[in-house]
Amino acid sequence: MGPYLLKRLLATIPVMLVVAVFIFLLLRLTPGDPAAMIGGDYATEAQIDEIRQTLGLNEPLLTQFVIWIGNILQGDLGESFFFKKQVSELIVARIEPTLSLSLVTIIFTVAIAVPIGVLAAYRHGSWIDRIVMGFSVLGFSVPVFVIGFGLIYVFSLQLSWFPVQGYNRIGNGVTPWIHNLILPALALSVIFVAFIARMTRTSVLEVLGEDYIRTARAKGQTETKVLMRHALRNAAVPIVTVIGFAFAILVGGVVVTESVFNIPGLGLLTVDAVLNRDFPTIQAVVLLFSLVYVMINLAIDLSYTLLDPRIRY
Amino acid sequence: MLKLVRRSFVTGVAAAAITLSLNAAPASAETVLRVVPHSGLKILDPIWTTAYISRNHGYMIYDTLFSLDGDGVVQPQMVDTVTRSDDGLTVTITLRDGLMWHDGQSVTAADTVASINRWAGKDAMGQKMMTFVDSLSATDDHTMVFALNSPTGLIELALAKPSSNVPFMMPARIAATPGSEQIDEYVGSGPFMFNDAEWEPGTKVVYDRFEGYVPRSEPTNGLAGAKIAKVDRVEWTPNRDIQAAINSLVAGEVDIIESTPPDLLPLLASSGEGYTQSPNLAGLQYTFRFNVLHPPFDNPKIRQALLYAFNQEDFLEATIGDPDYFQACKAMFICGLPFETNAHMEDLLESNFVKARELLDEAGYDGTPVVLMHSTNVPVLTNLAPVAKELMEAIGMTVDMQSMDWSTLVARRSKKDDPAEGGWNAFATAWDAGDLFNPLAMAFLNSSCDTALFGWPCDDQIEQLRDDFARAGSFEEQFAIVEAIQARFVEYPTHIHLGQFNTPSALRNNVTGYLSAGVPVFWNVEKN
């Protein structure tokens, strides 16, 4: 596995380089001028040009790119055009809410989706199966903001169980941290529960028809053991793949949920940066997201060896 | 087994929720005013940028030498006395006793001189003021002297400028930062202190009450008078989803939402938890800007045709909708402020298409398309361009409306290129009334050609009148010049004002004392 791991890690370098070139050029080719945004309504041409000079935007594109890549290689993500803060500081401040939300969402998703998916497969064709499948269709169809507002209306405004919005850092205590995360994580997990429950049902259903399941039953094993030890474990590879992708999507795609629940995470930072053309911040966040995708893919691939002894690298 | 699991799950969730909600109750006794500002605070230097959110931050932590009261009249704030020499060429200003910076040092005239110099290097009105100033110096800790080359009433008026860039006072060491660079220390002498340790850029700003602030003895009036911090702490947490912000206010998680679209106000009213009040009774003014460098708007007569073709009600109804929150106003310098006058404006802005077509014919309009920039991601502006397009087409003009986000529009509006090659002919925006209260503050009126704001109008007469305004010694004289400016504006339109509107603040019922001061400020506010 060592050489495989090394090969995969080395392969991330060209991937990241392509992403870097792509995002750098994309931002420079997109209309919009950060200097004009910073200068505001009263700024004269001379003042805007002065700001552009200060930000290094008057340099040729190649020079700007080389400086940026050089700094990245030294671990310097640059300074935000707007916040007068290092981008790395901004990311560190914003990554906790996003990771927390993603993690709690995945926990909810797995805790709900896998059991109901297994149950639907086990009770294939029954009313339970139809309810789970019906929920899946609904979960796919209803936008996350509708679910978010619905949960807020019931649990925050009517029952006052949870706060309407905001985020509490885990440093302030686990209780307030989870208290603020329950509703957004529930809202966000609905679509993933729908997807993963369906995937689990299909995988388990396929496995339940295999000879070794019949053998296990013939040996007199309980249905729980048959389902959990024999069926689910053999159906795990596609399920884990989907869960991994879901986590990657969550980290980079929680903008709407962060907006509805006003969670100051990476999603909102990215939107703000894009609207203001804050190039260093956008570039760094996109690189980070790309790295997360690559690493999660790698982790998924490596997990196969644990789940299926037949897979070897 | 399933039943048991289900029952345990439901009981567990309910118990957890109840426990969590009990544990989450705040234990602090200090008064915290929780505000949802109109956007996240990104730039902390209100001189470096003209962004309104940075201006509002400035009002929290900095003080000004002069301020406008509720009637728009200049009043001293940090200033104790102003004296003028008989020839009007020397203005001596002394500071009040007891003024202190947040770091405990005393405010001196050297600090205020440095602050004025930094502001005047950036701000158009400050630059205009300095054309009258031969020298500005601190003669002792409390006194500064303006030596003028010509008598002017502009000194106090400029130093009371209420909107971006506001001449905020900073310690000399900070004000020594070149205007092209952002300051990196945030020490003021205002009623609140910036809490650097708790600042989360773009998401949370915390201000603590400054115990050393010495308010004026006069009652609070607009931005003038006593600035008394009545809460211990103010927290700004922006929320880009205004529906979520209103839910938070109804649930008691926030106390004030700075700006609320009128269409969402019924939600607040039906909850019974809050009420509305405008921070700025004069509100904002919609404005249609011409680029005079290129056809067809290089011809003043074609611009004049639009003064006849447009009517303010169409724009206001399409954008704001509820007449309680807008007003048509033909006065250029804002209805409700001292320079309000309809002189020379009576027949305009009434969609007189016949007259507008006559003017187009006289001007020889040849069908040249108007490249109209349409911003799509600022809701309060989105519907302006489509209305303008309809009205222009109604008089036979060809309009090429191009949709884009605000950042793209901001970058493009500074380009002088031909409209067919990435330039532009017109766009619509909005200005705070505080930016429009006189002919020098109104940036779109500046007609100094290349040094004018984007659109680059070029007219000696308007510039002469603005200069006359700066030299005028009395309000009556200034008012007469304002009327003359409106007369010239009709002949040489630099822009078109499309009406005034307000997006009021929403407040919880336990919040009182919120001021209609022109900008959202949080001194005088009590939370019961």
Cβ contact (<8 Å) for B414 and A160?
Answer: no
DSSP A15-69: HHHHHHHHHHHHHHHSS--HHHHHH-TT--HHHHHHHHHHHTTTS-HHHHHHHHH
Cα(B251)–Cα(B229) distance, integer angstroms: 25
% helix, strand, coil for chain B, step of 5: 35, 20, 45
For B453, name the nearest residue in chain A, comparing CA atoms only. A44
pLDDT of B56 reads 95
Residue B5 clears pLDDT 60, i.e. is over it: no
Please indicate if any CB of chain B lies within 8 Å of the CB of A86.
no
Residues 255-284 of B with CB under 8 A from A: none
Q: State the count of interchain CB pairs (< 8 A) between A and B.
A: 153
Residue range B136-160, pLDDT digits in tens:
999 999 999 999 999 998 999 999 9
Residue range A23-46, pLDDT digits in tens:
999 888 888 888 888 877 777 778
- Asked if B527 and B231 touch (Cβ cutoff 8 Å), the reply is yes
Structure tokens at B70: 């509720």
**Cα angle for residues B90, B95, B100 (degrees, 5° grid):** 150
Residue range A40-95, pLDDT digits in tens:
777 777 878 888 888 888 899 999 999 999 999 898 999 998 887 899 999 998 99
In terms of Cβ atoms closer than 10 Å to its own Cβ (0-12, 13-18, 19+), residue B86 is: exposed
Residue range B302-348, pLDDT digits in tens:
999 999 999 999 999 999 998 989 999 999 999 988 899 999 999 99
Q: What is the mean pLDDT of chain A?
A: 88
Residues 267-286 of A with CB under 8 A from B: 268-269, 271-272, 275-277
Q: Where are the domains of chain B?
A: 29-235+504-527, 284-501
CATH for A94-307 is: 1.10.3720.10
Residue range B344-395, pLDDT digits in tens:
999 999 999 999 999 999 999 999 999 999 999 888 999 999 999 999 999 9
Task: Look at residues B216, B396, B208, B373 and name the one whose alpha carbon lies nearest to residue B302.
Answer: B396
pLDDT band at A282 (very low <50, low <70, confident <90, very high): very high
SS (H, E, C) B324-356: HHEECCCCCCCCCCCCCCCCCCCCCCECCHHHH
pLDDT of A297 reads 86
Three-class SS state of B95: strand
Q: What is the mean pLDDT of chain B?
A: 91
B378/chain A closest Cα distance in angstroms: 11
Question: At residue A233, what is the residue type?
Answer: R
Residue range B57-104, pLDDT digits in tens:
999 999 999 999 988 889 999 999 999 999 999 999 999 999 999 999
pLDDT of A253 reads 66
Contacts for A225 with CB less than 8 Å, ≥ 6 apart = A216
Residues 50-89 of B with CB under 8 A from A: 50-51
SS (H, E, C) B157-188: HHHCCCCCCCCECCCHHHHCCCCCCCCCCCCC
The CATH class of B29-235+504-527 is: alpha beta
pLDDT of B31 reads 94
DSSP B4-53: HHHHHHHHHHHHHHHHHHHHTS----S-EEEEE-SS------TTT---HH
Of residues B124, B184, B412, nearest to A42 (C-beta) = B124
Please indicate if any CB of chain B lies within 8 Å of the CB of A221.
no
- Asked if B383 and B319 touch (Cβ cutoff 8 Å), the reply is yes
Residue B15 clears pLDDT 80, i.e. is over it: no
Contacts for A239 with CB less than 8 Å, ≥ 6 apart = A114, A117, A196, A199, A200, A203
ipTM of the complex: 0.77
Of residues B123, B182, B248, nearest to A165 (C-beta) = B248
Strands (E), B49-179: 66-68, 74-76, 79-84, 90-95, 133-140, 143-148
pLDDT of B13 reads 43
pLDDT of B153 reads 85
For A152, name the nearest residue in chain B, comparing CA atoms only. B247
Structure tokens at A289: 């997201």
pLDDT of A150 reads 93
Cβ contact (<8 Å) for A262 and B44?
Answer: no
Query: Is the pLDDT higher at B475 or at B105?
Result: B105
Q: Where are the domains of chain A?
A: 2-73, 94-307
* Cα distances (Å, whole numbers) of residue B162 to B166, B262, B445: 6, 25, 18
Residue B25 clears pLDDT 50, i.e. is over it: no
Residue B19 clears pLDDT 50, i.e. is over it: no
A81 CB neighbours in chain B (<8 A) are none
Residue range B247-260, pLDDT digits in tens:
999 999 999 999 99
Please indicate if any CB of chain A lies within 8 Å of the CB of B181.
yes
How much of chain B exceeds pLDDT 70, in percent? 95
Residues 134-173 of A with CB under 8 A from B: 149, 152-153, 155-157, 159-166
Contacts for A63 with CB less than 8 Å, ≥ 6 apart = none
Please indicate if any CB of chain A lies within 8 Å of the CB of B49.
yes
pLDDT of B29 reads 65
- Asked if B336 and B285 touch (Cβ cutoff 8 Å), the reply is no
Task: Confirm or reject CATH 3.30.420.40 for domain B284-501, answering yes or no.
Answer: no
pLDDT of B241 reads 84
Please indicate if any CB of chain B lies within 8 Å of the CB of A128.
no
A166 CB neighbours in chain B (<8 A) are 237, 248, 253
B451/chain A closest Cα distance in angstroms: 7
For A182, name the nearest residue in chain B, comparing CA atoms only. B17
- Asked if B244 and B506 touch (Cβ cutoff 8 Å), the reply is no
